Chains A and B, each alone.
Chain A
Amino acid sequence: MARDEHLPHLENIPAYAIGALDAEDVAALEAHLKTCASCRTELAGYRALNDSLLMAVPPRQPSAALRKRLQSRLPGAQRTARPQWSWSFSRMAVGASLILLLVMNVYSILQMRALQLEQTRLNRQIRTGQTVMSMLSYPATERLSINSDKVVGSLLVDKERDIVALIVWNMPQLSENETYQIWLIDPQGDRVSAGVFSPESDQAYTTQVVYPKQSLVDFTGVGVTVEPAGGSEKPTGERLFKVDF
């Protein structure tokens, strides 16, 4: 290729090498470069200048804050300065602590629930005892003996205030599926439920107070039977005792 043909392109190569050639001249030079090996060699020599110009600027230290800012903005960085086992150990420790805390909370809740039940039972026991004491001191209260082949005790009947109290000694303990049920007996022999109860486990006698929905004058006696847990509509089980009044 004659030098005259090269010249216009050759003069543009330095500017093209550093990206300063005007856009309208670029296409013509690139077309020429495809067919001219010597111009491609010339271009390669100038392209190396890019590196030299990048290097020809004095270094400047950025602020220390930039390093920290950059570090905080790295997406998905593996911060593995600490060994993996220590991270795992930390996670295990946190997990174990949470489980322990959960177990302690459940245990505390169960303890609190048991204490509340015990408190309720003791309160009921106190109220019942006070009721029995007040009935014994009341002149109109009738005291009847309970004397069956299974238990002994007393039946207090206050027909003016419609209150009945049972004090029964040595009541047999029942299974979880059973309960004692109190029946009021009318003149026709029909039984009306007056509630269910369980014998005291921490003392020899059991006290139970009954507040009938109907007047006691409608009834002639009281009986107690063993029934399935929750009670029955009519007596179905073994009779513990029956007292007429």
Chain B
Amino acid sequence: MTGTEEGKLITQVAQGNESAFLAIYDRYASRVHGLTLHILGDPMLAEEATQDTFLKIWSRAREYLAERGPFLPWLLTIARRVALDRLRLEARRPLLSDSNDPEDAWQILPELESLSDESRWRSMYFAVQSLHPDQRKVIELAYYQGMSQSEIAEVLGWPLGTVKTRLRAALEKLREAWNEK
């Protein structure tokens, strides 16, 4: 699907076209669900968050502005917020280890039409996985669990300064990886 075709579909979704909405869903449901499942760690909660995300897209598609950036990051940003809100609502303690086996994830990947999308997410996946475990842990809590540095320090029992240093180092490495791609 080209950017133009995608743009037309989103315009149609904004006009209440169900077929266009389902085409968008079919293309991105696995990306949204992958993110909500990673954040919430519970398949049932993750499906509810995925559903809420697409319902928001249905009612807010007209707010998407193509000139401000691609559709997928916008969609995933909404999905992240929905999942983090749900996480706070459930008052769940953050998961400290990834319950999903990364190797298993490769086997269940759907076939992606866009090689650029596929290569993009795989490169960033590897960039995160290549971080030092302590750095990966702070990234996990800060970005995927929505915690502040002080909350991370409290949960992990680390000094606040250590958390800041490890988070900064992790983000610096990811930025380098991002710029190299």
Instruction: For B150, give the chain A residue with the smallest CB separation.
Output: A22
- Asked if B25 is at the interface of the complex by the 8 Å CB criterion, the answer is yes
Interface string of B146-178 (1 = CB under 8 A from A): 111110100000000000100110011011011
B47 touches A62 (CB 8 A): yes
**Is A55 at the interface (CB under 8 A from chain B)?**
yes
The residue on A at minimum CB distance from B21 is A74
Query: How many of chain B's residues have a CB under 8 angstroms from any CB in A?
Result: 63
Interface size class of A (residues with CB under 8 A): 35 or more
Stretch in B2-10, B86-94, B100-108 with 4+ CB within 8 Å of A: B100-108
Q: A11 to B168, Cβ gap below 8 A?
A: yes
27 A/B residue pairs, CB under 8 Å, sorted by A? A15-B149, A23-B148, A49-B178, A50-B73, A52-B124, A52-B178, A53-B124, A53-B144, A55-B120, A56-B124, A58-B34, A58-B109, A60-B30, A60-B37, A60-B100, A60-B105, A61-B110, A62-B30, A63-B47, A66-B51, A67-B29, A71-B18, A73-B51, A74-B21, A75-B58, A77-B18, A78-B15
A70 proximal to B (CB < 8 A): yes
B121 — which chain A residues lie within 8 A by C-beta?
A: 55-59
Which 10 A-B residue pairings sit nearest by Cβ, starting from the closest? A58-B105, A59-B30, A20-B142, A56-B124, A54-B76, A14-B171, A77-B18, A60-B34, A62-B33, A59-B34
A76 to chain B, nearest CB (A): 6
Task: Give CA–CA (A203, B168) in the complex, Å.
Answer: 116
The B interface, classified by DSSP as helix, strand, loop or mixed, is helix
- Residue of chain A at shortest CB distance from B106: A58
Q: Are B19 and A81 in contact (CB under 8 A)?
A: yes
Contact B148 A66 (CB under 8 A): no
